[in-house]
Structure 1
Amino acid sequence: MITVSSLQAAAQRRIIADCFARTGLTLEQLWLRYFALGGDVSEADLAAYLRGVLPLPRIQRDMVAHAVNERLDELSGAQRVPYSREVGEDSRPRGLLAALVGLLDGAQRVSPERLPAIVAAAGRALDLELTVYLADYEQRQLFPLNGESASGRVALPIETSTAGRAYRHVGTELTEEPSGPRLWATLLDGDERMGVLEIEAVADADLHDPALRTRCQWIASLSGHLIAAAMRYGDGLDMTRRRRRRGPTAELLWQNLPPSTAATGDFVVAGGVEPAYDVRGATFDYALSETTAWLAIFDAGRDTVSSGLAVSAALAAYRSARREGQDLRGQESAVDKALSAQFGDGTTVRGTLAEVDLTEGTLRHLEAGGEPPLVLGTGHEPATVDSARRPPFGDGGPRRIETARLRAGDLLALHTEGLTRARAAVGERFALADSLDAVAEHVPPEIVRRVLDAAKSHCRSGFTGDAGLLIARWPGPR
């Protein structure tokens, strides 16, 4: 049976033979050029191929074609012989590959404001209409990014909308509407939630197809990564996320924060700060490796003009020591020295440093004037690891390193004093342990969102201190 591919190979051979006749090369000279390119058939077999007696594999045909083309370039500068992929074959990517390639190619050297159009163009390769929504910094609403597909669309509440449910559960949600089905997929940068992707079918695309929904999740993840990358070199997308002005101190602290969520197969961590647009003295940090998770939270209060600078200095000193391989004692010393050297006026920062051995779940932590860590898990009551107060950073020691053992699935919470001291109008403090226990079944970033939102509601956004929260979950040994 004669196949399309065999007809293409025959057409390519005829063109090679015709062009070879115009090169002025002998068969031996052509074979030497072909051999230098890595060809592995003999001169006799090459002659048989040119006569149409002996077929060659695709890669060998293309090397012969290239040898002929090199000679034609020397003579006229024109490439005359087609390669295998050019003979009756459209090599352009299609379907999912076309969508992913379109996203990657389109995002190269593009202004951030152009990304919604790039995402929409990628969707057309799958017969889909895509619209990007980003979450605001308080994680209350999802706002559509400007673009053709965003016309007429409005902000959607995270707590009550279908789009918000996809965001809260880090998955996809399908709704049936008069105009047809609509799919919502979470936009992710790694494990950090950026927003959601609204997906509508065009032509014959079937959003009920599980395979298509999986492709949509891939598109959403890649889109989220590209959006996060673009935010680092432009403000156009970030302006959609912020709904209020930030002062210089809040801007500095937000720029120094790590991604709000990160995960490996052995650990998940998420953090947040409130008030989101007026944080003045709280920050957090973390680092994950194959064997260890490092966590830190710092609080310099809100009452002095130097709070933001002090907590930033503590964070920078901690990161520097950690990245040099220093242990908890080395990190502690680095923060103390940095505060003394840069301020020298008794400026202090409260905080907690911790590390978790991911192979056994051993928790080591050093507390400096702040709130002790809180551990919650199945089968036991919430408990603090240590309740003794220690001197804050910048005030010298001594401080003890405490050790505890996490159990599989345990939730570890590091937090600032401003969270537990958030008060209702009647003076009642925010019950952090109860709030954590009520939402513990959720993924860590959703726990952080819900707890901070509950604290904000409890004190009616009247925080007297910055509320910082860092949540981690250890699933247990592999």
Structure 2
Amino acid sequence: MAISNGLSAVYEALHSAAPYALAEVVRDALVAHTPVQSAELLLADYALVALRPVLDTPVLGDDEIRIDSSDAGRAFASQQAQWEESHSTLHLPVTACGERFGVLSVRLPIAPELDDVGELLEVAEALGHGLRGADRLTDRYQRARRMARMTLAAEMQWGLLPGYGHTGKGYRLAGQLEPAYAVYGDNFDWSCDPDSLGLSITNGMGEGMRAALLTTLAVTALRNARRSGAGLEEQAGLADEAIYAQYGGREYVSTLLLRFEAATGQLFAVDAGSPRLIRLRGLDVETIKFDQQLPLGMFGNTTYVEQSVSLQPGDRMVVISDGVYGGALLGRGAVRRGAPRVRRQIHPAATGRRGRQDNDSWHADVQGRRRRLRRRRRGVPRLDRRPDRRSPSPREGRCCLRCPRTLPRTGIAV
């Protein structure tokens, strides 16, 4: 197949496309200028349970394209192209700078060669970059991702996020809020610089809109201080004053501020609340304990002190909230086996006996990249057997293929 011959026209069409028409433009350009017969853009829903079509609007009664049991879902989870022989369809992960959006599924007359797969993967990546900017200008893709009505508190929290993931120099980061459609007080924020990555993980007290408004003030105050050039100590102090000025000490926010310097391997922290930090190094699991300091907004004149810990290439850092460890303890084996095992154990910790969500919660996991990375050959794996259900390696930072629907989690994976 001559995929490459028409790609310049595809890129030109994508570059000039209106933000609300990216899916149609990519489909029409691929069909007109390449051997692609049809195409569909599938976006992951907010809970990372299913992939939602953008062009072919689903109707009541349609089967879900579940991430844990479909070829398209396998492409999303593994971040590798998947060839579905029965439908002559190639599923391509749509990702930009480490942030996963979904899958571009293209129907082809014959199985593609490796070079063709590589060309189409680049188209999917370009589409991912377009989607990043389009979300600021149109609600179309956010509507397509929703499987249920989102509460106002959850809308505020998702609107605060700078993104759901990022791959930078020396680290990988990914994040998730749960329960996705009803989260209220928990949130995370991050910002990357040429030489460092900054994270803030917040948990506003209370429930519903009360917690969401409190967390919104905290995240905005921390951003204002960070963007003014303040370090972690000053960020915490200024946010503490802002929250106290508004609530007079009646409300406060548990917060963990982190700054990771990839060049030195140092992780700096200000621990002002409940989040816990766990480090996985090889087969060793260790809880990193910092000096406990007062939550933001409790007194308004607190002096915060920065602390640090040394990391090594390949270390994995997991941050969990009170919604997780307040219900049950995570076993060392859970962290050692990676995200899928952790999620299966934190599910009963943050849900009630009747299966309802008692508290919003999150876990964050931070992984430093090894200095030597083996280059993986991009190709089409065989799919003449059932999808591999084994838990992915924790170093790959993949989405769990066995996540339960009601899994409570909010995460950052670096």
Decide whether the 8 Å contact of 2:276 with 2:321 is kept in 1.
no
Name the CA distance, whole Å, in 2 between partners of 1:219 and 1:389. Answer: 48
Which residue matches 1:71?
Answer: none
Structure 2: runs of 5 or more not aligned? 373-414
For 1:280, give the aligned amino acid: Y
Which residue matches 2:7?
Answer: 96
Listed one character per residue, the Cα deviations across residues 410-433 of structure 1 (whole Å, up to 9, x for unaligned) are: 011233211222x4xxxxx15275
Decide whether the 8 Å contact of 1:134 with 1:195 is kept in 2.
yes
Name the CA distance, whole Å, in 1 between partners of 2:342 and 2:136. Answer: 28
Matched, 1:348 2:247: no
Matched, 1:417 2:316: no
Listed one character per residue, the Cα deviations across residues 142-167 of structure 1 (whole Å, up to 9, x for unaligned) are: 122224999x9853110111111110
Name the CA distance, whole Å, in 1 between partners of 2:173 and 2:188. Answer: 11
Deviation at 1:346, TM superposition (A): 2.4
Which residue matches 1:164?
Answer: 73
Decide whether the 8 Å contact of 2:149 with 2:181 is kept in 1.
yes
Decide whether the 8 Å contact of 1:418 with 1:463 is kept in 2.
no
Decide whether the 8 Å contact of 1:352 with 1:365 is kept in 2.
yes
Matched, 1:330 2:234: yes
Deviation at 1:398, TM superposition (A): 5.3
For 1:455, give the aligned amino acid: I
Q: Give the alignment partner of residue 155 of structure 1, picking from 46, 57, 64.
A: 64
Structure 1 residues 343 and 399, CA, compared in 2 at 3 Å: closer, same or farther?
Answer: same
Listed one character per residue, the Cα deviations across residues 208-235 of structure 1 (whole Å, up to 9, x for unaligned) are: 3111101110111112222332232222
Q: Give the alignment partner of residue 266 of structure 2, picking from 350, 362, 382.
A: 362
For 1:99, give the aligned amino acid: V
Structure 1: runs of 5 or more not aligned? 1-92, 424-428, 440-446
Name the CA distance, whole Å, in 1 between partners of 2:57 and 2:278. Answer: 47
Name the CA distance, whole Å, in 2 between partners of 1:332 and 1:391. Answer: 10
Decide whether the 8 Å contact of 1:356 with 1:364 is kept in 2.
yes
Task: Pick the structure with greater CA Rg.
Answer: 1
Q: Give the alignment partner of residue 402 of structure 1, picking from 304, 307, 326.
A: 307
CA RMSD between the two structures: 2.6
For 2:46, give the aligned amino acid: Y
Which residue matches 2:204?
Answer: 300
Deviation at 1:406, TM superposition (A): 0.4
Tell me, what secondary structure is at the counterpart of 1:122? helix
Listed one character per residue, the Cα deviations across residues 26-60 of structure 1 (whole Å, up to 9, x for unaligned) are: xxxxxxxxxxxxxxxxxxxxxxxxxxxxxxxxxxx
Q: Give me the TM-score of the superposition, normalised by structure 1.
A: 0.70
Name the CA distance, whole Å, in 1 between partners of 2:90 and 2:148. Answer: 30
Name the CA distance, whole Å, in 2 between partners of 1:411 and 1:450. Answer: 15
Matched, 1:264 2:264: no
Deviation at 1:96, TM superposition (A): 1.4
Decide whether the 8 Å contact of 2:90 with 2:107 is kept in 1.
yes
Tell me, what secondary structure is at the counterpart of 2:244? helix
Q: Give the alignment partner of residue 346 of structure 2, picking from 455, 459, 466.
A: 455
Which residue matches 1:191?
Answer: 98
Decide whether the 8 Å contact of 1:351 with 1:416 is kept in 2.
no
Structure 1 residues 419 and 149, CA, compared in 2 at 3 Å: closer, same or farther?
Answer: closer
Name the CA distance, whole Å, in 2 between partners of 1:302 and 1:338. Answer: 18
Which residue matches 1:393?
Answer: 296
Tell me, what secondary structure is at the counterpart of 2:337? helix
Which residue matches 1:469?
Answer: 363
Alignment of 1:210-359 (within 5 A): 210-303=114-207, 305-359=209-263
Which residue matches 1:126?
Answer: 34
Name the CA distance, whole Å, in 2 between partners of 1:226 and 1:275. Answer: 28
Name the CA distance, whole Å, in 1 between partners of 2:185 and 2:198. Answer: 21
Structure 1 residues 126 and 453, CA, compared in 2 at 3 Å: closer, same or farther?
Answer: farther
Aligned length: 361
Name the CA distance, whole Å, in 2 between partners of 1:94 and 1:163. Answer: 26
Decide whether the 8 Å contact of 2:153 with 2:209 is kept in 1.
no
Bigger RCO of structures 1 and 2 (CA < 8 A, at least 6 apart): 2
Tell me, what secondary structure is at the counterpart of 2:139? coil
Q: Give me the TM-score of the superposition, normalised by structure 2.
A: 0.80
Deviation at 1:405, TM superposition (A): 0.6
Decide whether the 8 Å contact of 1:349 with 1:392 is kept in 2.
yes
Name the CA distance, whole Å, in 2 between partners of 1:148 and 1:417. Answer: 38
Listed one character per residue, the Cα deviations across residues 90-109 of structure 1 (whole Å, up to 9, x for unaligned) are: xxx9511111112222x1x3
Name the CA distance, whole Å, in 2 between partners of 1:374 and 1:386. Answer: 9
Decide whether the 8 Å contact of 1:130 with 1:149 is kept in 2.
no
Deviation at 1:358, TM superposition (A): 1.2
Deviation at 1:301, TM superposition (A): 3.2
Name the CA distance, whole Å, in 2 between partners of 1:246 and 1:432. Answer: 33
For 1:101, give the aligned amino acid: E
Tell me, what secondary structure is at the counterpart of 2:85? strand
Listed one character per residue, the Cα deviations across residues 112-152 of structure 1 (whole Å, up to 9, x for unaligned) are: 2x3332121121111112111111100001122224999x9
Moved more, 393-402 or 307-316: 393-402
Structure 1 residues 141 and 148, CA, compared in 2 at 3 Å: closer, same or farther?
Answer: closer
